[in-house]
Amino acid sequence: MTVTAPVASNPVGPGLLDRRYRAVTLGAVALVALYAFEALAVATAMPTVAQALGGLRLYALAFGGTLAAGVVGMVAAGRWADTRGPAPPLRHGIAWFALGLIIAGLAPTMWVLLLGRIVQGFGGGLMSVALYVAVGRVYPPHLHPRIFAAFAAAWVLPAVIGPTISGLLVQHLGWRWVFLSVPLIAVAAAWMVLPAVRGLGAPVDSGGDAGMAQPHRLAWAVGAAASALLLHHAGQQRDAAAVTMLAVAITGLLVCAWQLLPRGTLRAGRGLPTVIALRGIASAAFFGTEVFLPLLLSRERGLSPTAAGVVLTVGALGWSAGSWYRSRPSQPFTPPQLLRIGMSLIVLGVASVALTVSPQVPVAVGVAGWIVAGLGMGALFPTLSVLTLELSPPQQQGVNSSALQLCDALFTATVLAVGGSLFAALLVRSPGVAYLAGFAISAVLALLGAVLATRVQPVREA
């Protein structure tokens, strides 16, 4: 079996806004836009939050803890959606997501804020997988590239206004409103999307072992999340016990990831395993840099929260532009070529951001680089999503969509734990070296992804 570039449109078939798809399309895009707004707004506000609550050493954990908890939500949602349809996990996901934001917004200490971020991450994991399953259930294959491009385009408005609104809220009303305002939007998004997916049940052939592995997978997911959090904690310690905790955390992550991800993912086996591995590698490289970018710009280069947020805006716009290009019909590039190009753009973008650690380098260099990195992600993400659905039978679309995002969360949480630990250890000695250590990890990962891109093509069947 060979994988060719999927056709992005069908000139005689219905489009995304055809009567039979309109409600699901509008509701799903609205929910993605909500998630995008929250991600960009919180990333913009977090440098101020960490300093206000005295938790700069826990800065990376505020993001990594959310991702670690998302692992549990993703695993739960995969089988749940395959057996009962995407509506139940989506409904619960929205509720947990909103609750976590409220806890974070009212947090008196950094540790309570981290608790809220963990609750929010669990809900986000449920939501993200449920939406992927809805795509597989509702849309024909020729519309898959378009709906994933629409999801990327749903980041455009939040990308334009989210960081700016967040910066203004931080400067004029206080950082708490960045968290407390989003649940209000969640109510509106739920009102749109839940009726649209309520009638989507499980596939007719989803019986058999659809739910057999769920208890074990949930246990492994909890173990992976706990290991990721332990890795964050161990990296902050400076005593002899830290070595033991690090060993336990790394071993736990490897064992749990081996059980949770499709066979061959950790060794980049050809076909679907490499597709899933590349999602984790790309996300870890990109977000491992983006998390520290606002902190670098505000703390070291003196930008206001609003100005630092604008840099995230241009990166997200680059992501949307890359996704738009990926959705064009008559795509001249094959999936491996698109993936290699995307990974190379991320390397270039991270390198440009790293240059801005030096006060002599204009901030504009980093801004331009982050646009380039966004273009790379825009080319990568729709390609990997389409390949996942192409290589998955209907009764496994939920599990494999869960695995795709599970790898994303596990790899990113792990890289943030390592990068955050290095950052905390080096910050007091040399802030510049502290940032560069994390950026170097991201660049190496993206280079590895470019090398592995050709392995997304499955082995030919005899």
Picking from 175, 166, 77, the residue whose alpha carbon sits closest to that of residue 123 is 77
Instruction: Give 21-73 as a DSSP string.
Output: THHHHHHHHHHHHHHHHHHHHHHHHHHHHHHHTT-GGGTTHHHHHHHHHHHHH
Per-residue pLDDT at 382 exceeds 90? no
Picking from 302, 306, 286, 304, the residue whose alpha carbon sits closest to that of residue 371 is 286
Class of domain 22-199+213-456: mainly alpha
Least confident of 142-156, 194-208, 262-276: 194-208
Residue 241 confidence class, pLDDT cut points 50, 70, 90:
confident
Per-residue pLDDT at 355 exceeds 90? yes
Most confident residue range from 59-73, 77-91, 115-129, 161-175:
115-129
**Angle at which helices 61-84 and 397-427 pack, to 10 degrees?**
170
Residue 2 confidence class, pLDDT cut points 50, 70, 90:
very low
Residue 6 confidence class, pLDDT cut points 50, 70, 90:
very low
94-152 pLDDT, tens per residue? 889 989 999 999 999 989 999 999 999 999 888 888 887 777 777 777 777 778 777 77
Give dist(CA 325, CA 148) in Å, integer: 12
Looking at per-residue confidence, does 416 or 286 come out higher? Answer: 286
Most confident residue range from 301-310, 316-325, 357-366, 387-396:
357-366
Residue 65 confidence class, pLDDT cut points 50, 70, 90:
confident
Tell me, what's the pLDDT at 376? 93
Q: Is the pTM of this model over 0.85?
A: no
> Three-class SS of residue 287?
helix
Most confident residue range from 46-55, 168-177, 248-257, 277-286:
277-286
Tell me, what's the pLDDT at 343? 94
Mean confidence (pLDDT) of the chain: 80
Per-residue pLDDT at 9 exceeds 70? no
Domain residue limits, the chain: 22-199+213-456
Per-residue pLDDT at 207 exceeds 70? no
Q: How far is CA 317 from CA 152, 296, 303, 323, 371, in A?
A: 9, 20, 20, 10, 7
Residue 202 confidence class, pLDDT cut points 50, 70, 90:
low
Picking from 423, 437, 427, 443, the residue whose alpha carbon sits closest to that of residue 376 is 443
Residue 286 confidence class, pLDDT cut points 50, 70, 90:
very high
Per-residue pLDDT at 204 exceeds 60? no
Mean predicted confidence (pLDDT) in 442-446? 94
